[in-house]
Structure 1
Amino acid sequence: MSNKEVDQLVDPAELVEDVERVLRSTGVVAPARLGLEHRGSWLGVMPSAGQGFYAVKVVGVYPGNPGRGLPLVRGRLFLVDAETGELLLEADAEAATGWRTAAATAVALRLLGGTGGVLGVLGAGVQASYHLRLLTRLYRYEHVMVYSPTRNRAEKLAAQYGGEVAEPGRLLREADTVIAATTSREPVVLGRLLRSGAVVASVGAPRPVRELDQDTLARAQCVLVDTRKGVLSESDDVGEKLVEVVELGEALRGVKNCMPGEIRVYKSVGTAILDLAIALHLYRRLGHQDS
């Protein structure tokens, strides 16, 4: 399946339910990702298993590709029958990753109360685009604001959703929900500017990217994360000594609650558990209802 075919097949509301169902499950296994470097490029292999299936995502970062007119990031997602080894699904990873990351954020926002008011998005790349695409379909936001250092990209993205381009300071002060989807190495979410009760989602930003400052953590007191191990080992945004950390799955199962302070924060760096969820969603949407 191409990225375009994935986009056409996904049902946002059903995907969010599928992601939540997998996150609630205690029978899903996702070992640490394997990463390799060669000639300046990076290749990651991310396996997961559950509900009678294996999912494997193979994704690479190829710094020389933009100069060749090719994508910087390329990858494929596979779904395999765990009993027979039959390959059931193969799809481009970019769209699949965009959708599953945004769906997990939607689940977190439902728990944290970030489903209305003004939505502010920092960034105008792939993740920002998929988050706007999914969240505005599911939730009722009164207004959308977008910021990117590349203004024409911000203008184009904001226009798609009847929103406006806003400087980051204004966006942080006025937004009820803030999505940070950037590649910044300096914090873009400044806690002192956030309104009381604001909800922040920092997505897909492993080191050296840094999106949350210390004031944000201090005001949050607790951070909801996609996986504790992933966020603590791959990101510099959250330190367990600085703030309480609760996994999204733990919160959904009622094992542990994330008691917020003045603001509420969700942090994700990605997990193969979500790759299994989107692969199962696509497989089911193709007509395999028993998946």
Structure 2
Amino acid sequence: MSVERRPRREVSGLPSWGRCAVMGVVNVTPDSFSDGGRFFDTAAAVKHGMDLVGRGADLVDVGGESTRPGASRVDEDEELRRVLPVVRGLVGEGVVVSVDTMRAVVAERAVAAGARLVNDVSGGWADERMIPVVANAGVPYVVMHWRGQSAGMNSRAVYGDVVSEVIQELRVALDRAAEGGIALDRVVVDPGLGFAKEAAHDLALVGALGRLGRELDLPMLVAASRKRFLGRVLAGRPDTAPPPARERDAATAAVTALAAGDGAWAVRVHEVRASADAVRVAHEVRRATAEGAQ
């Protein structure tokens, strides 16, 4: 576990948690790779969000469109129908809510409903109106590394040096965001684990989180939860079927500990309790290490 060489970066417009934050996931979709539509109903989704907070989530990310590899897009009206009531319900309970969307209209209306962060897995590339909408709203914005829509992203998982290329491509997206009026003190970066990446690429990026943080010099969101590369690691052999997504939570918590140790701003997870424990342990280890070095 590396030692943090500079103070943890905070995100303007959001609470300061003093450690790596835990972002719980609420998928309001019938085809999520992780939970298979268990929270598609509004009431169930709001209850699940509140349960995540009760287990240790600092904020909750609400999404109405599956971005698993091969997924087809839903239309704008359907995404709004899924997301807005859940955002309103959680905000009404005092929860810090993030909206997970690639559409500017969904972001704009979710922010109007009380969402405090826009988590755009396309990094501003999917909808040309997203950057001006976020800039006008003045809310924090997650810029993820992205190479195209889910339906075809597996074919784009070609890299010579995945860490250097992800850094370079994120810098381009960050420049676009800044030129579009988004203040960098409100920007979070995400290396896009699982998006146009094979398992070896994801593992290399996890191993380089410290480098990503230093070179991009912005708060980082790490979203490894239940993803395919963890399934491949747990399977152990190429000819062995990986365990189902919901059996990858211990592996997710291992990545959480690594990410927190490398100074991540937040981790995005489906099962909160283990990751909430992991970030607290990592925080105390880092604090004790820093005190011992004085």
**TM-score, scaled relative to structure 1:** 0.33
More helix by proportion, 1 or 2? 2
**TM-score, scaled relative to structure 2:** 0.33
More strand by proportion, 1 or 2? 1
